[in-house]
Amino acid sequence: MSVNTGIIGLAKSGRTTIFNALTKGKADIGSYTQEGLTPHIG
């Protein structure tokens, strides 16, 4: 049996940190600023 799960949340809320903790993974974690970015609303 296969199970698919997802982690959702706001930006900079720690999704990757939780993913790494649950899977013992090493996904990159960065502290990027959101300055100068405009949202793409469609």
Q: How high is the pLDDT of residue 32?
A: 67
Using alpha carbons, select from 1, 3, 8, 7 the residue that is nearest to residue 25: 7
CA distances from 21 to 24, 25, 28, 39 (A): 5, 7, 13, 30
Give which of 4, 30, 2 is closest to 15, Cα–Cα: 30
So what's the pLDDT on residue 21?
Answer: 92
**Per-10-residue mean pLDDT for the chain, 42 residues long?**
87 86 84 63 56
